[in-house]
Chains A and B, each alone.
Chain A
């Protein structure tokens, strides 16, 4: 891609050749270490080409393993294969390299299409982004917040000023740890306790539940949960709705579950809570310390407040949303 030469001096390194579903803890660790090395060597920004399916898992893992990076770290992919003339790959790559080379935002980010048109890309924070459509070009969405910036070929427009700024120092902390015996359970009606029991019996140390509504599971599962937490398994509650906070004080169900040792994980996305729990348990066996790590925001995986319009604004690409934006209902 000749355009990239106008953006920056590019050095490339191939780490893995895998489908993104085959990415996992070992790859996260290797990637984090490689990035740490490049930062120490003085690189100005990093672009990671990645399959889109689990890009948000990797983004989350990197956001925890590479703490306080001084430069932008941008994951990018494409939703249409690069063999077709209309692929989004090139524009995404231009946007991503522009972001890595010139943006002031020193965080782990995902850079993909904003709308489905070849118009602009969005920079999403690594811990707040999720693939939301199986095929659409603008599949990535920031959840529970607004994206960090809008990016065009020649321009980056920040949408917020709450982000870490680029620095010239090379201070970065790499924490390449991951406990692999962590599972995520997506609750469904009539889920049976043996699902939890089997995880416990197989030696799993942490479970992230994606519960319904404000963070609920059915009553039959209660004893299994109680048994698990008594055995020292860390269980965290997230919400299937993706948007919004876990609020376990509202219904008896939530209170009962907390009494059995489940910890509400604020507004962490389920996938992000999963990688964070693996990362936390990789560092310590002390469950109080795990809890402290889990509930301390490290890379905006927990935010203090959700903008009332986080769901609608700045995501772009959907006609009725665009129309709404134009009017702002004034």
Chain B
């Protein structure tokens, strides 16, 4: 019943007649009028505040707008390395289990520990407040005693170290003389030790973008974390297959001044890593953390961005979210003094709220319903923060993460999105209960009685932070370009030496050996593709898969132009991949073999495009059979051309088209299959055209 009401209200202006029927039918007469009014005025607040912030869609935003905001962005790119084993134990790397396929579970709880400076880390304290039980799923094949933190680390994987050093050299960083493993605390449980083992490999490098250089702060070699299975209430579950896999983290300075530059740097770093030929690809193999700030704002870290293509929208929206929070701070400080500001909360007596209970009739006995009055916060809860998001979402996100109140976890007094809004009757009761004044805002929260104190604290804390502007936090990027609260941003103190590992000397000989065998720079690869006249739409694909060496090999040894091979891979193969993943056994050497086969037989290269789908589907097929499968038979040029006059005659008998090319097109269509491989199609067309002229 209520669902219908909410749904209809979304479109209430156009569906008012249905609405009044439903409301009559379900007895919401009074609410109808008011909802309508409130929606009108407060939707406007969202719009008004959006204008006040100056939000524009990204396509309408100019570089000068970003510089006016003081937009700054830096990247932390994580890239898994292609090694046989994990970094600090001998388990195989790169094997993934289904998240429900495991041999056993282990339970752990994380406690914050004092840093060497005698302080607790903010994130650690936040995580501790969540009182989470962490469950690790183990599969014997992919986890040993190291993964569950039951044995100290083994010697570092040499293969991983060498790959990391190689990439560090490609980034032109200064390589450290000794690798010191340090511990970086993670209390979210994503690593069972409570810290990640990581070590800086190189510092201070740079990459060239199209119009500037981006400086690299450092590159580190570190172990990957667990994959999250679920996070519900007070239990968070992880699977340990990915845990401990070696990855490199490349950190740039905040040198990027527009969202597009951030993506460009992201792509460059990805191509660079891929060009080593020693990194993993596929879902989750490369992940980005993006740091964004604006003038007056704070460095916000958007974690785990899965696709570089998401970076522009996410950073754009984050910049405006910070702007919005600064506007909110200004607004609040105009009339209120944070030192004297105090929220009021009250238990809501049962049966006071009819609207709420019609929505949540089964609230368990252990749950409490709490009304909170936020003095002076009128028009703040519905203040724009991101597209389709308002300040109330900042509260709701933190309630989910810190107090473990599952969403929906909040109803508010102001109209924003329908699912957040208190019904008018309930609102009246709450205002009366809380003795609210006109300028106040109200929220209603509910949850287990044990979680309520944390929940109230969380609301109080976030509202106080609103007076200051942008709180320090890490956020999670969503596909729609918005972000949600993830954690409090950890302090710098969370790094300390790993006492379990000895420093690892990095010998000059090794550096010299690696230095001699570095792949060409990515900017040179771009240049190379341009020189070859390979179409630009293939660049991203070719570079992200490191296919320039493949093009070189195939074109060099099989008598094909690099342009043809570039299109063959960047168009034909890419299209096939779009339809279906690689069949096991298929590889780039198969493509090389195919090209070699066609070259050796002296066939025209256009036939490759017909043969590839067969080989892609059946990688172990004999190439001769591929020819049979696609219906190729050897026919001489003369024989093919001998069909032209008859076909031309036939065409003239049936032709109705005024298109001057129609005849040639039609004959080509008839002869294509026969011609493929035997004669170059362009040449055939020219011969047919010539015939036309001759007639």
* A interface residues (Cβ-Cβ under 8 A, vs B): 214, 244-245, 247, 249-251, 255, 304-310, 328-330
Contacts and interface: CB of A to CB of B under 8 A. Distances in A.
A249 B104 contact: no
A37 B144 CA distance: 40
Interface residues of B, number: 23
Contacts of B146: 305
Main secondary structure of the interface of A (DSSP, over half): loop
Nearest to A255: B502
Given A245-B154, A250-B499, A309 B140 contact: yes
Contact of B148 (A244, A250, A308, A329): A308
Interface of B: 89-91, 103-106, 138, 140, 143-148, 150-152, 154, 499-502
A214 B148 CA distance: 17
A302 to B, nearest CB: 11
Contacts of B104: 308-309, 328-330
A306 B500 contact: no
A249 B150 contact: no
B145 A308 contact: yes
Given A250-B152, A250-B500, A255-B502, A305 B105 contact: no
Interface centre among B91, B106, B145, B146 (most CB of A within 10 A): B145
Given A329-B104, A330-B105, A247 B500 contact: yes
B500 A307 contact: no
B140 A247 contact: no
Contacts of A307: 140, 144-145
Nearest to A214: B152
A251 B502 CA distance: 10
Given A304-B90, A307-B144, A308-B140, A329 B151 contact: no
A249 B502 contact: yes
A304 B146 CA distance: 12
A142 B421 CA distance: 63
A32 B106 CA distance: 44
B143 A308 contact: yes
Nearest to A160: B140
A57 B144 CA distance: 27
Contacts of A306: 144-145, 151
A247 B90 contact: no
Contacts of A330: 104-105
A308 B145 CA distance: 4
Given A249-B501, A250-B500, A244 B151 contact: yes
Contacts of B150: 308
B147 A308 contact: yes
A258 to B, nearest CB: 9
B102 to A, nearest CB: 8
Contacts of A304: 90
10 contacts: A244-B151, A247-B151, A247-B500, A250-B152, A250-B500, A305-B89, A305-B146, A306-B151, A308-B106, A308-B148
A303 B152 CA distance: 15
A297 to B, nearest CB: 12
Contacts of A250: 152, 499-500
A138 to B, nearest CB: 22
Contact of A329 (B89, B105, B152, B501): B105
Contact of B151 (A245, A251, A309, A328): A245
Nearest to A144: B145
B301 to A, nearest CB: 32
